[in-house]
Amino acid sequence: MRFDGPGSDNFEDRTGAGGGGLNLGGGLGMLLPLIASRFGIVGIIILGLGYCALTQLGGGGGILGGGGGSGQSTLPTQQATFLRQVLGSTEQVWGQIFQQAGAQYRPTRLVAYEGGTQTACGMGQAAMGPFYCPGDQRIYIDPDFFNELARRFGAPGDAAQAYVIAHEVGHHIQNLEGTLDRAQAAQARVGKAEGNQVQVGVELQADCYAGVWAARSGALEQGDIEEGMRAAEAIGDDTLQKQTQGRVVPESFTHGSSAQRMEALRRGLSTGNPASCNYAR
C-alpha cells in the first residue's frame, strides 16, 4: 500500500511498558468469560478481531504479572509509521464521509502494546487479538499479531495488516452510529445462537466498512486486494474452527464464515459506499 506523510497523531505506543507474563488470577478470571460469551473460545485463543463491549471491570492491578518494563518502545520505527499512516488514512476517508452526511467525525485512538494493557473494558491481552473498546473509544493491538497472521494463517503483507486496522476502525464507526449499543440490546433479548448471529452482522459490517475505506483511500497497489482477501478468508469462523477443533459449528459463529467475510470486504471495495454495508441489525 502507498501512504504519504507521517500519519495520525492519535497513536499511542505502550510497547516496552511491561505487561509481562499472564496471570490467570484476579480480574482476568472475570474478563475471559465475558470475552468467551461475546466471541467464543476462538475469540480468546485465535485472534479475536472484534470489539470488547464489556462491563468496565474497574481499576486494580496485578492480573497481568510482571510489569516494571524498561519503558522504552520495542516497536520498530517503520511499523509505528505504518500504523500511524493507516490510521491517518482512515481519518481522512471517514472524515469526508461524515462531512458529506452533515456530521463531524470523532477519530479513534490506536494503542500498540505487548502482552497486556489496561483498557476501559478491563485488562486487554494479546491472546484476544486486536479489539476495539467502546468505553474509551480506542483500538488495541499487540503488533505481534501481524506475525501470527502471516506465519500461522498464511496472510502476510501490508494490505492484510491495514485491513485488520480498518476493521477495528469500522467498529468505532459503529459505536459513533449507535450500532454497537443496538446490537448489545438485541443480544440481551435473544438466546445465544441468535445473539451470535447479531454479532456476525456487526463483524461483517466492520469488514464492509474496511472495504469502503480501502476503496476511497487511494492507497491500493497491485496485489493489495488479494492480500486483504486472504486475510479475511484466514480469519473466518469456519476456517478457524476446522484448524482448532476439526469441525465446523455454524450456530457458534461470531464473526462469519470465510466466504461471508470475503464477500463483505468485497462489497465495501466495489461500492465505496457505507450505506451498502447493511449487515448489522
Q: How far apart are the C-alpha atoms of 141 and 208, rounded to whole Å?
A: 20
Question: CA 193, CA 188: separation in Å to the nearest integer?
Answer: 12
Listed in sequence order, the residues at least 6 apart from 115 whose beta carbon sits closer than 8 Å to its beta carbon are 18, 19, 20, 21, 22, 64, 66, 125, 126, 142
pTM: 0.85
Task: Answer with the residue of higher pLDDT: 164 or 40.
Answer: 164
| Rg, the chain, Cα only | 18
- For residue range 161-183, list pLDDT tens digits in order: 999 999 999 999 999 999 999 99
Q: What is the mean pLDDT of the chain?
A: 85
Query: With contact defined as beta carbons under 8 Å apart, do 22 and 65 qualify?
Result: yes
Render pLDDT for 50-97 as a digit per residue (tens, 0 to 9). 666 433 222 322 212 223 345 689 999 999 999 999 999 999 999 999
Residue 62's CB: how many other CB atoms inside 10 A?
12
In contact, 87 and 11? CB cutoff 8 Å: yes
Q: Are 254 and 200 in contact (CB under 8 A)?
A: yes
pLDDT of 246 > 60? The answer is yes
Query: Measured between alpha carbons, how far is 141 from 145 in angstroms, rounded to an integer?
Result: 8
Residue 258: name the closest of 233, 240, 279 by CA: 233
Answer whether 203's CB lies under 8 Å from 259's CB: no
User: 118-152 pLDDT, tens per residue?
Assistant: 999 999 999 889 999 999 999 999 999 999 999 98
Give residue 195's pLDDT: 95
